């Protein structure tokens, strides 16, 4: 996987963030275009290619969620696009409450605030279970674990979108 190669890493799901940062800084020092401003056109182009790849790699790998997405993609697994079925009912209720608040019904506010808390909690849970699954897969690569990761990622994405929407709506209406 080229992003791992760019940072000189074995393709693992669990990464130490300090080590990752150090690798990124060390390689930047070596390859950045600033180091080749008086070099040949070839050197300059190579430096640009290396650093843009390095920057992409660091950006993708430093965040566990985007790292897992990259890992799945490279492993030939597509990310699902459907809403996670176990959340359907809650999403429906939440959207109703959002509509009510937009329509000026302040009684929906408390419901949204508590939903926001609950969903933020879910995000934390998702992150924890991702970390555990990363360890498990790195220890013993198994397709079934990747599928589980895929499900958690999907759920996390939905929840994080919901949190964002609710936050936005609560802010807009408290500002008015």
Partner 1 sequence: MSTLQIDFGHAEPRIVGIDLGTTNSLVAVMDLTGPRILSGIVPSVVSVNESGEVIAGSEARDMLITHPERTVYSVKRLMGRGFADVQDELKLFPFRLAAGGESVLKLQLGEKIMTPPEISAHILRKLKEDAEEVLGATVTQAVITVPAYFNDAQRQATKDAGRIAGLDVLRLVNEPTAAALAYGLDKRKEGVVAVYDLGGGTFDISILRLHDGIFEVLATNGDTHLGGDDIDNLLLNIALEDIQSEWGEDVSGKPDLVQLLRRAVIQAKEALSFAPSASMELEYGDRKYARLLDVELFNRLIEPIVNRTLGPCRDCIKDAGVNVEEIKEVVMVGGSTRIPLVRSAMEKLFRKRPHVELNPDEVVALGAAVQAGILGGEVEDKLLLDVTPLSLGIETMGGLVSKLIHRNSTIPASATELFTTAVDGQTNVLIHVLQGERELVKDNRSLARFDLKEIEPMIAGMARVQVRFLIDANGILNVTAKDLRSGKEQSMDVKPSYGLTDDQVEAMILESYDKAEEDFKERQVREARVEADAIIGATEKAKEDDAYAALPEGERAAIDRSINELRLAYHSDDHLLIRDQIEKLNQATMALAEAIMNEAVGKALKGTSIDA
Q: Does 33 bind partner 1 (CB under 8 A)?
A: yes
Q: Does 164 bind partner 1 (CB under 8 A)?
A: no
At what angle are helices 88-102 and 143-175 packed, to 10 degrees?
A: 10
Q: Does 64 bind partner 1 (CB under 8 A)?
A: no
Q: Does 25 bind partner 1 (CB under 8 A)?
A: yes
Binding-site member from 11, 46, 48, 160 for partner 1 (CB under 8 A): 48
Q: Does 46 bind partner 1 (CB under 8 A)?
A: no
- Select from 4-12, 48-56, 67-75, 123-131 the region that touches partner 1 (CB under 8 A): 48-56
- Using alpha carbons only, what angle is made at residue 129 by residues 161 and 144, rounded to the nearest 5 degrees? 100
Exposed, middle or buried by CB within 10 Å (0-12, 13-18, 19+), for 133?
buried
Q: Does 53 bind partner 1 (CB under 8 A)?
A: yes
Given the structure tokens 């939903």, which residue do they identify?
Answer: 115
Q: Does 138 bind partner 1 (CB under 8 A)?
A: no
Q: Does 28 bind partner 1 (CB under 8 A)?
A: yes
Q: What is d(CA 153, CA 22) in angstroms, rounded to the nearest whole number?
A: 27
Q: Which residues does 6 contact at the CB level (< 8 Å), separation at least 6?
A: 27, 50, 53, 54, 56, 57
User: Is the CB of 58 or the CB of 134 nearer to partner 1?
Assistant: 58
Give the residues lining the site for partner 1 (CB under 8 A): 25, 28-29, 32-34, 37-38, 48-49, 51-53, 55-56, 58-59
């Amino acid at each position: 996987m080229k992003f791992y190669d760019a940072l000189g890493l074995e393709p693992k799901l669990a990464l130490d963030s300090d080590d990752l940062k150090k690798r990124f800084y060390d390689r930047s020092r070596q390859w950045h275009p600033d180091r080749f401003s008086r070099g040949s056109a070839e050197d300059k182009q190579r430096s640009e290619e290396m650093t843009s790849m390095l920057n992409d790699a660091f950006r993708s790998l430093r965040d566990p969620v985007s790292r897992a997405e990259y890992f799945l993609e490279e492993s030939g697994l597509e990310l699902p696009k459907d809403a996670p079925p176990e959340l359907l009912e809650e999403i429906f209720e939440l959207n109703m409450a959002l509509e009510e608040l937009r329509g000026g019904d302040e009684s929906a506010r408390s419901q949204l605030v508590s939903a926001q808390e609950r969903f933020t909690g879910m995000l934390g849970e998702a992150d924890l279970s991702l970390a555990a699954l990363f360890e498990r897969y790195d220890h013993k690569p198994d397709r079934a674990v990747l599928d589980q990761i895929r499900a958690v990622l999907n759920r996390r994405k939905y929840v994080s979108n919901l949190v964002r929407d609710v936050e936005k709506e609560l802010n807009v209406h408290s500002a008015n």
